[in-house]
């Protein structure tokens, strides 16, 4: 395992143009929609994120392999696990869907039980509610509606909605309680609409009738989650102007909310002829509680940035962080403690306490097999002489060019 030693020397003025990879969230949805359309829908500007590469390979192998029984191993790709659970349930064949050891600890029961409720044949191969799962398809539909909780991973809901038009009776989702990560559901429905699939969304019910996909090209936008690390860099630099080509002001991605959030952190966003430009400005923090339930993938970036700026901010909407690649709340608590910052929880409100904030000359940050831990902490090299990040290859999951792009902006990266 190679560690990354990250440092930044000079006057901390950053001028760079960074072309980001395609959005993993958009691309993985586009790949499933394309596979369900049996070639009617094409995908352009493919992401090079490891999760997307994995899903693309699996879908290609499934299209070429007529074997009746097949083991499908997603490794650590959580999106692939969830989307393929529904995809394989609707497909003819027998499948053992499995993944890495961490993947076997991440729940799949809510999605599997929803699919079983409408007729899917799914058995837990080891532990109830968790991968690996045995799937025998195609789903023989016994109901055209299912109830599912709203405060769960949006990927469960998106997985069901994407296969809905291919089901003999279509599907109505009755969502119970408040819908978490609403922008990701909207992204799914907008992409289905681009592929010719109509739906009705009334209150907490989303209905999709059985229908054919139309010929379409889904062009994947660059990844706003990846852009968030550049917003953090701009907030921590003395002065920065960073060009991010091809990002759209009106985006399907919920993580585009980083534009609004980072205004308080002193980063302004301007549309350009080719994309957007971000620039340092004056900071103006408020006392309001920051709700991140619609954009949980931004949480690590924002919390780390606020911590090193010494801001005792409050956050809500972090519940889903505990079932991600790692328990992200615990990981943040462990690593922020190394600079004297605590992140405490009281009735689902998380508070930073930066009273004992200090910057050692050298710090080693554990990454917990989590790409977002590495990328959220790398920018603090603007304030700490050397930041050592465990397992530099972990960024391959969503942003393989991260270290190269940091070097373009003036950071020094050494393997250790």
CB 145, CB 114: distance < 8 Å: no
* Residues involved in catalysis: 297
Question: What is d(CA 8, CA 195) in angstroms, rounded to the nearest whole number?
Answer: 45
Q: Which residues pair with 351 in a beta bridge?
A: 314, 344
Distance CA 76, CA 54 (A): 9
Helix/strand/coil percent split, the chain, to 5: 35, 25, 40
Name 34's Cβ contacts closer than 8 Å, sequence gap at least 6. Answer: 41, 42, 43, 218
Whether the CB-CB separation of 294 and 261 falls below 8 Å is answered with: no
DSSP structure class, residue 328: H
How many whole angstroms separate alpha carbon 24 and alpha carbon 22?
6
Which phi and psi (to 5°) does residue 273 adopt? -65, -25
396 C-beta neighbours (distance < 10 Å), count: 16
C-alpha 31/C-alpha 52 separation (Å) is 8
Dihedral sign computed on CA atoms, order 396, 10, 265, 256: negative
């Amino acid at each position: 395992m190679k560690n990354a030693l990250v440092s930044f020397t000079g006057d901390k003025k950053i001028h760079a143009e960074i072309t980001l990879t395609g959005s993993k969230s958009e691309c993985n949805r586009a790949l499933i929609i394309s596979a369900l359309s049996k070639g009617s829908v094409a995908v352009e500007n493919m992401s090079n994120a490891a999760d997307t590469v994995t899903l693309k390979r699996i879908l290609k192998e499934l299209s070429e392999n007529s074997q009746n029984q097949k083991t499908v191993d997603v490794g650590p790709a959580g999106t692939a696990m969830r989307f393929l659970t529904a995809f394989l349930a609707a497909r003819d064949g027998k499948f053992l869907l499995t993944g890495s050891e961490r993947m076997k600890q991440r729940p799949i029961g809510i999605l599997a039980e929803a699919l079983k409720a409408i007729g899917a044949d799914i058995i837990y191969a080891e532990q109830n509610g968790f991968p690996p799962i045995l799937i025998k398809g195609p789903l023989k539909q016994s109901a055209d509606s299912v109830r599912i909780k709203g405060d769960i991973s949006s990927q469960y809901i998106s997985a069901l909605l994407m296969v809905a038009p291919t089901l003999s009776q279509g599907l109505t989702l009755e969502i119970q309680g408040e819908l978490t990560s609403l922008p990701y559901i909207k992204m799914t429905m907008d992409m289905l609409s681009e592929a010719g699939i109509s739906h009705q969304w009334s209150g907490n019910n989303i209905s999709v009738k059985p229908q054919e996909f139309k010929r379409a090209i889904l062009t994947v936008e660059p990844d706003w989650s990846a852009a968030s690390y550049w917003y953090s860099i701009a907030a921590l630099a003395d002065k920065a102007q960073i060009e991010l080509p091809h990002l759209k002001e009106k985006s399907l991605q919920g993580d585009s909310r980083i534009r609004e959030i980072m205004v308080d952190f002193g980063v302004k966003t301007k549309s350009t002829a080719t994309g957007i430009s971000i620039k340092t400005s004056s900071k103006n923090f408020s006392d309001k509680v920051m709700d991140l339930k619609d954009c949980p993938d931004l949480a690590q970036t924002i919390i780390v940035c606020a911590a090193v700026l010494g801001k005792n901010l409050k956050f809500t909407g972090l519940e889903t962080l505990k079932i991600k690649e790692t328990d992200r709340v615990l990981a943040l608590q462990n690593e922020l403690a190394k600079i004297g910052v605590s992140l405490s929880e009281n009735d689902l409100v998380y508070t930073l306490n930066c009273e004992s904030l200090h910057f050692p000359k050298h710090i080693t940050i554990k990454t917990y097999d989590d790409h977002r831990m590495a990328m959220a902490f790398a920018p603090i090299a603007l304030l700490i002489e050397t930041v050592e990040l465990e397992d530099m290859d972990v960024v391959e999951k969503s942003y393989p060019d991260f270290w190269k792009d940091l070097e373009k902006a003036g950071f020094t990266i050494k393997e250790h």
